[in-house]
Amino acid sequence: MAKFLLCVLVFALCFVSTQSRPIFIDSRKVYNVVDYGAVGDGLVDDTKVRLMDFAVFAYEVYDMVNYVVLPFMDAWKATCKSSMSSPTMHVPQGMTFLLQPLTFNGNCKSNNITVQIDGTIIAPSDPSAWKCPDDKCDIWIEFHDFKGLLIRGSGTINGQGTKWWGLKCKQNKRVCGRKPTGFVIGGSNNVHIDGLTFEDSPKMHIAFERSEWVNATSLTIQAPKHSPNTDGIHIQHSKNIIIYNTSIGTGDDCISIGDGSSHINISNIDCGPGHGISIGSLGKDGKHETVEFVHVKDVSFTGTTNGARIKTWQGGKGHARNITFEHITSIDSARPIIIDQYYCDHKVHKHCGNETSAVRVSNIVYDQIYGTSDKEIAVEFSCSKSVPCYNIVMRNISLHSTEDGTQTSSICQNVRGLRNGDIIPDVPCLNEAENLPIVN
Ligand SMILES: *[C@@H]1O[C@H](CO)[C@@H](O)[C@H](O)[C@H]1NC(C)=O
Ligand SMILES: *[C@@H]1O[C@H](CO)[C@@H](O)[C@H](O)[C@H]1NC(C)=O
Ligand SMILES: *[C@@H]1O[C@H](CO)[C@@H](O)[C@H](O)[C@H]1NC(C)=O
Ligand SMILES: *[C@@H]1O[C@H](CO)[C@@H](O)[C@H](O)[C@H]1NC(C)=O
Ligand SMILES: *[C@@H]1O[C@H](CO)[C@@H](O)[C@H](O)[C@H]1NC(C)=O
Ligand SMILES: *[C@@H]1O[C@H](CO)[C@@H](O)[C@H](O)[C@H]1NC(C)=O
Ligand SMILES: *[C@@H]1O[C@H](CO)[C@@H](O)[C@H](O)[C@H]1NC(C)=O
């Protein structure tokens, strides 16, 4: 009854309360979050809007105070239920939407849904202001169980992570342990993310988990150099992934490829600042983990702390194999090429001993890697004694020192492989005669 009355009074409310009044563009339906009550002033929580925030207050209808709408969820439900073949949910430009953690479930009518984000989406800036379901804050925005999803636009997704980064974990174990990843695609197929900018996530910016056929194109991902664990894109238990034409500068790996990942093509990437493009870390706590068929090409590393990197823990099992890094430029990066089978996060693990098992690293190609290294050691192969790296191939490598007059050098431990073309610095351990298959 109250709702009906309001409806008569304020036309805009009829829109909300009757729910589906999409605007038609072409033959598709476009569901604009603003039509579902989103305020977009960067202050009101747009996941849950009280009508008092939304309606024209002049009507003095105080019993509206407790009436709430869920603009993003309501717009999403309408998009998801749409019987059109390609419905779109729209987040318009020129507005800033403050969002609490949100999950978009993809069991929709259409297999070709578009989420068009042209506005700015921000997270609460204070960790204590986050409203996390069941106190679980590990993800901010999640899309899961999709079969056909395009997320695109000129918009920005900003996790406002500054206060999370500053938390001292010793004093704030509970809050600290649940630092959210910004944007997650989980359990999905045929997903394309295009054009968006991601900024200042509390933890990783984007993660692809248990997904296949995911394309990420023309993205910009940025966070300060000293923001902890803010990987650009993390891939886990996923295959057939393309990352193309993307610029990433954060405080951790530009791209990290974790367990269960294969058939990953990464190209035309600007990386820096950051820790490079990393396979791993794999094999922590004795786990059996695998990554294979990864192709990284046309990448520039600028001022990164590692470049083309493979890192595994002592005591692990599994493999990292058939991985190619080619056409790579390094500008003043430290260790542009590194395989580290003694990886250990010394901040968390006090004692990292040497063990008899290790994640096997084999069939790795480095081809045409040029530029400068700001550490004397430009190439490091620290492979395990018990499970040496095998079939490591280098072709046409030229990494000079950032400092004039300084020679670069390499570390070579327990590596077998081949080299051809000019290799600077020299990597003498790669020697065809010794690249015999490993039997064990
Ligand atoms: C899917 O949706 C996009 C965007 O609306 C459209 O450009 C494309 O043609 C659609 N694809 C199919 C197969 O319908
Ligand atoms: C991803 O990109 C590949 C290569 O450009 C293309 O063939 C494929 O259709 C794209 N997939 C999606 C889901 O956009
Ligand atoms: C690459 O991405 C930028 C945005 O970061 C875009 O302006 C440009 O058109 C993209 N180029 C290609 C070839 O996709
Ligand atoms: C990755 O690139 C290789 C070689 O160009 C190609 O055969 C493969 O299909 C690509 N994978 C994906 C997922 O696009
Ligand atoms: C993996 O790499 C090795 C060495 O380069 C090559 O001989 C082999 O064919 C590759 N495997 C596949 C399935 O591509
Ligand atoms: C483990 O082995 C590496 C390489 O041989 C060596 O540099 C390192 O000191 C060893 N660490 C321990 C804890 O024994
Ligand atoms: C790689 O090195 C070989 C041998 O020095 C040379 O013939 C070839 O032209 C080089 N390739 C490129 C792309 O520089």
Q: Specify the ligand 4 atom closest to the Cα of 241.
A: 13
Q: Whose CA is nearest to atom 2 of ligand 3?
A: 218
pLDDT at 404 over 90: no
User: Picking from 49-53, 96-100, 209-213, 419-423, which range would have the lowest pLDDT averaged per residue?
Assistant: 49-53
User: What CA–CA distance (Å, rounded) separates 105 from 146?
Assistant: 7
My answer on whether omega of the bond before 101 falls inside 30° of 0, hence cis, is no
Ligand 7 centroid, distance to 421 Cα (angstroms): 6
* Cis before 425 (ω within 30): yes
Atom number in ligand 3 closest to CA 247: 5
pLDDT, greater one: 320 or 53:
320
The closest residue, in CA terms, to atom 1 on ligand 1 is 112
Q: In whole angstroms, what is the distance from residue 14 CA to residue 23 CA?
A: 15
Nearest-atom index, ligand 1, CA of 112? 1
> Distance between CA 395 and CA 289 in Å, rounded?
28
Strand partners, 277: 255, 308
324 lines ligand 2 (CB under 6 A): no
CA of 96 to the centre of ligand 3 (A): 24
Q: Give the residue from 419, 425, 341 showing the smallest Cα distance to 376.
A: 425
Cα–Cα distance measured from residue 186 to residue 136, given in angstroms and rounded to the nearest whole number: 16
Is there an atom of ligand 6 within 6 Å of 356 CB? Answer: no
d(CA 379, CA 335): 6
Q: Angle CA(387)–CA(393)–CA(398) in degrees, nearest 5?
A: 125
Residue 363 CB less than 6 A away from ligand 5: yes
- The ligand 4 site (C-beta within 6 Å) comprises 240, 242, 263, 265, 295
Q: What percent of the chain has pLDDT over 90?
A: 76
| Mean pLDDT for the stretch of residues 226-234 | 96
Residues with CB under 6 A from ligand 3: 218, 220, 245
Residues 6+ apart with CB under 8 A from 172: none
Q: Which residues line ligand 7 (CB under 6 A)?
A: 368, 396, 421-422
**What are the beta bridge partners of residue 395?**
367, 420
- Contact at 8 Å (CB) between 383 and 349? no
116-171 confidence digits (pLDDT tens): 999 999 999 998 899 987 777 899 999 999 999 999 999 999 999 999 998 877 66
For residue 206, report the distance from its CA to the centre of ligand 4, in Å. 22
Query: Which pLDDT band, with edges at 50, 70 and 90, does 176 fall under?
Result: low
| Ligand 5 centroid distance, CA of 364 (Å) | 10
Q: How confident is the model at residue 435 (pLDDT cuts 50, 70, 90)?
A: confident
Instruction: Tell me the chain's radius of gyration from C-alpha atoms.
Output: 25
- Tell me how far the alpha carbon of residue 400 lies from the centroid of ligand 4, in angstroms: 32
Q: Which two tokens stand for residue 5?
A: 């009355």
Whether 137 and 179 have beta carbons less than 8 Å apart is answered as: yes
Q: Which ligand is nearest to the CA of 85?
A: 1
Residue 7 has pLDDT above 50, yes or no: no
The per-residue pLDDT for 177 is: 67
Name the token pair of 35.
């039509």
- List the catalytic residues: 252, 275
Q: How far is the CA of 393 from the centre of ligand 7 (A)?
A: 14
- Average pLDDT for 300-313: 97
Token match 């024209």: residue?
Answer: 56
Q: How far, in Å, CA of 9 to CA of 161, rounded?
A: 41
Q: Torsion over CA of 218, 121, 271 and 204, rounded to 10 degrees?
A: -120
Nearest by Cα to 189 from 292, 111, 124, 119: 111
φ, ψ dihedrals at 356, nearest 5°: -90, -20
Among 212, 268, 295, 323, which residue has the most ligand 4 atoms within 8 Å of its CB, making it the best to mutate? Answer: 295
Task: Report the distance separating Cα 240 and Cα 14, nearest Å.
Answer: 45
pLDDT at residue 339, rounded to an integer: 98
DSSP sequence for 146-215 = -EEEEEE-S-EEE--THHHHH--TTT-HHHHTTPPEEEEEES-EEEEEES-EEE--SS-SEEEES-EEEE
Q: Options 2.160.20.10, 1.10.10.10, 2.40.50.250, 1.10.10.60; which CATH number does 262-345+356-440 get?
A: 2.160.20.10
